[in-house]
Chain A
Amino acid sequence: MTTRAVSRRAALRRIGAGAGALTLLPFLSDEGLAAFVHIQGTKAAPSLKVLSPSQYATLEALVEAIIPADERSPGAREARVADYFDLVLSEAQPSLKEEWLAGLAAFDAEATRRFGKPFLRLDAGQVEALLTDVSRFEAVKTKPEETAREVTRYDQPTQKPVLVEGLLGDVSRFDPDRPRPPLEAFFATTKRATIHGYYTSEIGIHKELRYKGNQILAEFQGCLTQDGKDCPHCGQKA
């Protein structure tokens, strides 16, 4: 990858930064900003730190299968979620990194075992079948009795610390640590990080969610019923 020199002004224009960029300016070095803008540009080649080109290609297909392009917005591929994975992996503890890479290999092997070809070359129906199987764990997880945390309070501190380590995604989110099949665990981890990567991207925030905040407002409007009007947004009457 060649990092082209980008002026700050041009760079900010290209990442679509508004007034908020003014507060960003002091913290980004020219080099860091230029590199980042380059990565954000969808056509730039990835600058991989951990993933091999083939792992990257498989991951791109997987994240796109989790959050695909549709009529409303581009998907995780164009949002460069796989690049985000690569960065996170590069900073992860070695054991967690190895575990996830092994999961990716096992996932691809499962595709080959079932359909005789790697994940990258599966057709849409085969992708659907495979992901339906590995995401089965989630349907169970969403039952209320399963999400209830078993936390024994006020007993003596355990001798063996139970750490909530997260390779990907938000480490502060509590995830019940309980055994589950490796491929399903791999899927859960990957989905969590895909959600985080996608919905923190420019595409995810602005094009997909059409999030409207983080703007300078004269006054926060809220529901118009509060001004004694019928609200066109929610249809509630004054």
Chain B
Amino acid sequence: MPADPTLDVDLAAVTDESRKLSASIQPRSGPWDVIVVGSGAAGGMTAFQLAMAGIKVLMLEAGRMIDHRKEYRTMEWPYQSPRRFRMPPDHRPIAVAEYNFLDRPYGNNPAYDKYKKVTSYAGNTFTRNWVVNEKEHPTTGTQYSWVRARVLGGKTNFWGRGALRYGPLQFKAASHDGYDVDWPISYEDVSPYYDKVDVLLGCSGTKEGLMQVPDGIFQRPVKLNCVEVHFKRAIAKMGRHYIPGRAGVTTDGLLNSKYRARCMGRGRCGRGCDIGAAFHSPTALVYPARDSGNLTIRPYSVVSEVLLDAGTGRAAGVRVIDANTREVMDFKAKVVVLGAGTLDSTRILLNSKSARHPAGLGNSSGLLGCYLSEHLMGPRGSGFIPVRIGTEPTLDDGRPVGPYIPRFRNVTDKHPDFIRGYHFQGGGGAYEYPGMAHDLPGFGKAFKSSVRKYYPAMISIGGFGEVLPRKENRVSLDAVVKDAWGIPVLRFDFRFGDNDLKMAKDMADSAEEMLKAAGAEAIKIERDPLPEGWSIHEIGTARMGDDPKTSVTDKFCRLHDVSNVYLADAAPFVSGGTQNTTWSILAMCWRTMDHLKERMRVGDV
């Protein structure tokens, strides 16, 4: 079927640029001081920190460059495309139920043969050129909705913008409830870096003084709309907070960036923000780093393993498979930083086998790949707030994020059924598409008027619950299945546990309780967890610690076993609280890079 010119973004120019760029950068094009794998939050921050400090960096991105001006289709109306945002017929996202029922690898299912590209659930008309094709990127083992993006900026191009800090409750979770271990660092170690990230990138929010989600250095907050204010007042009586969402978006502007303008209140940031108000790694970090003259970006560079110098026992560089030419080449540097995303960084390490490290690099503890954790999603509730039923809609969605209900379980009290906690995200009002119309019965004038009657009154909240880190929740290399570049794929062995599912039940009950307190009509409660991986907040597969026997990296995210390999993403995180992960990746990465810069300054690498 021919490409529909009204649907397809013309990627010829950026593809051509990417091919030329990758062809022009060869192992002999160096030397570089540091190789960073990946270009998302972790890779971007790594490159920015090092390049700005005068360190020569080679960034290896598995996908292509991005044409952010063309590909971020922020303000496009659905009626501007005849397909109304439907994917083209040869593209298909995996539907929610299919994750649970279909055999893995998902993309190999015969039922998908007729599609050219099968994406994770996150694939839509705006993201489909960024997220990977499951046919090229299989997984095996238990079900897991692993969302990956191979393009400059990775998942930051469409992330949810939730910019939350871990606090003392997360760094010292074990001290709080006795389960598992604390992080080897504390909030006081990371807090200054959260401050720096807030100032560099812009963070919108309100000071609330809550220890479960510490305050930051905030720009102008986003406001609540009418249904949300009503809901806030109702749950305040229960002692619960409903606060403006904290967004990794500059609402006041940034004096430090020529690529980013302040938020203009248009909403739809998940398509990519074409004025750069929302944080996306390319405009916020990678382009400024490149402007320093110290960053070389090589797209189409699939890293298969970290190379070991047998003489010194240190990493010598990485092996790259060119995504287009399939040419295999070895790039060398003094330091290797992995920022490919928690699971792909782990996979690279597991695949870096040598006589000295037969189970993978950095895996002398045997724990590499273990303790995979994320956030359980799915339990949620919706309803209609009476004060707005039958009123004229107001402009309710011109902002980067909806409001946030901070964790209220096991903060000062102790829940009888489970440890740790969850938060809710979500708001209401008149969003562009009235999804609730699909739940309203009938037809004709009565149906049509009921849609507009309830349209301004909708409210919907969904929970994010901490999945307990457990050793048995792990990934390993599949012995048989390989990806399109011949690299062994990840085999998942990951299940929600008893504590997680008890918490999920309470999430649904709490949602119902709060919607009832707000007097909502037609309350609808979803109780089932969404498939594993749905949160895209995977952490923990190379956890940090002081003891090399019980952890993979030290407290500066450096492999215990190999002193010049760092992890810049969330793989070293010990536990993930309920907070969205990106802001912590950025802060932790900055901290790690400060450590690396100091080592390089004194000649320690």
Contact = CB atoms under 8 A, between A and B. Distances in A.
> Is the A/B pair a real complex?
yes
A112 B267 CA distance: 48
A18 B142 CA distance: 47
Given A24-B76, A32-B5, 19 more contacts: A23-B75, A23-B76, A27-B6, A66-B444, A67-B443, A87-B83, A141-B441, A151-B97, A153-B529, A157-B102, A161-B101, A172-B95, A173-B438, A205-B78, A213-B267, A213-B397, A217-B398, A234-B226, A234-B227
Contacts of B264: 216-217
Interface of A: 15, 17-21, 23-24, 26-29, 31-33, 36, 39-40, 65-68, 70, 72, 75, 84, 87-88, 91-93, 128, 131, 135, 138-139, 141-142, 144, 147-149, 151, 153-154, 157-158, 161-164, 170-174, 191-192, 195-197, 199-202, 205, 208-223, 225-226, 231, 233-236
B80 A17 contact: yes
Contact of A138 (B76, B397, B442): B442
Nearest to B103: A157
B498 interface: no
B223 interface: yes
B393 interface: yes
Given A192-B438, A208-B452, A128 B230 contact: no
A71 to B, nearest CB: 9
B67 to A, nearest CB: 9
Contact of B75 (A20, A197, A205): A20
Given A161-B102, A205-B77, A217-B265, A84 B84 contact: yes
Contact of B6 (A36, A164, A216, A220): A36
A149 B438 contact: no
B111 A212 contact: no
Interface of A, secondary structure class, is loop
B92 interface: yes
Contacts of A21: 80
B455 interface: yes
B334 interface: no
A51 to B, nearest CB: 15
A221 B395 contact: yes
Contacts of A192: 438
A72 B443 contact: no
A36 to B, nearest CB: 6
A203 to B, nearest CB: 9
Contact of B441 (A139, A161, A211, A213): A139
Contacts of A36: 6, 80-82
Q: How large, as a class, is the contact surface on chain B?
A: 35 or more
Contacts of B93: 171-172
B267 A214 contact: yes
Interface stretch (B427-435, B461-469, B578-586): B427-435
B369 to A, nearest CB: 20
A18 B228 CA distance: 29
Identify whether the interface residues of B are mostly helix, strand, loop, or mixed. loop
Nearest to A136: B441
A187 B479 CA distance: 48
B439 A142 contact: yes
B388 A200 contact: no
B332 interface: no
Contacts of B394: 212, 233
Given A23-B73, A87-B82, A212-B393, A235 B387 contact: yes
B391 A234 contact: yes
Interface in B447-502: 447-449, 451-452, 455, 495
B365 to A, nearest CB: 28
A217 B6 contact: no
A173 B388 CA distance: 26
A199 B437 contact: yes
B64 interface: no
Given A139-B441, A208-B452, A219-B265, A213 B395 contact: yes
B225 A223 contact: yes
Contacts of B74: 20, 23
A20 B439 CA distance: 30
In this complex, which of A218, A225, A231, A234 has the most chain B Cβ atoms within 10 angstroms of its Cβ? Answer: A234
Contact of A195 (B85, B397, B437): B437
Given A164-B98, A211-B430, A213-B398, A222 B79 contact: no
B229 A234 contact: yes
Contact of A217 (B78, B100, B114, B266): B266
B432 A211 contact: yes
Contacts of B524: 144, 147
Given A20-B75, A215-B398, A217-B266, A65 B432 contact: no
A191 B97 CA distance: 22
Given A164-B97, A234-B229, A223 B223 contact: yes
A220 B398 contact: yes
B311 interface: no
B95 A164 contact: yes
**Central interface residue in B226, B228, B442, by most chain A CB within 10 Å:** B226
B599 interface: no
B97 A174 contact: yes
A191 B438 CA distance: 8
Interface string B92-118: 110111101111100001110010000
A149 B77 CA distance: 33
Contact of A151 (B95, B100, B432): B100
A231 B70 CA distance: 39
A123 B101 CA distance: 46
